[in-house]
């Protein structure tokens, strides 16, 4: 079974320190995460997940 990240938040005070990258690498390696659900109105989040190797395969008009 593959799991999905639906909500991952890093406080503004801690962004840019590699915490999000460490969390993503952990869940990919240990929890078999293959998918992420991110709001497309969040360009920073979308760019981060694309940087981490995820790509858009489905869009929904609902949040």
Q: Per-residue pLDDT for 16 more than 80?
A: yes
Q: Does residue 63 have a pLDDT over 70?
A: no
Q: Where are the domains of the chain?
A: 3-51
Q: How far apart are CA 45 and CA 40, in angstroms?
A: 8
Q: In angstroms, what CA-CA distances link 50 with 35, 44, 54?
A: 11, 10, 5
pLDDT at position 17 over 80: yes
Nearest to 36 by CA among 11, 15, 57: 57
Q: How far is CA 45 from the centre of its chain?
A: 7
What token pair was written down for 39?
Answer: 């709001």
pTM: 0.81
């Amino acid at each position: 079974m593959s799991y999905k990240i639906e909500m991952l938040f890093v406080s503004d005070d801690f962004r840019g320190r590699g915490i999000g990258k460490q969390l993503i690498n952990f869940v990919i390696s240990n929890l078999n995460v293959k998918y992420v659900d991110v709001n497309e109105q969040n360009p920073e989040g979308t760019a981060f997940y694309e940087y981490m190797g995820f790509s858009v395969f489905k869009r929904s008009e609902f949040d």
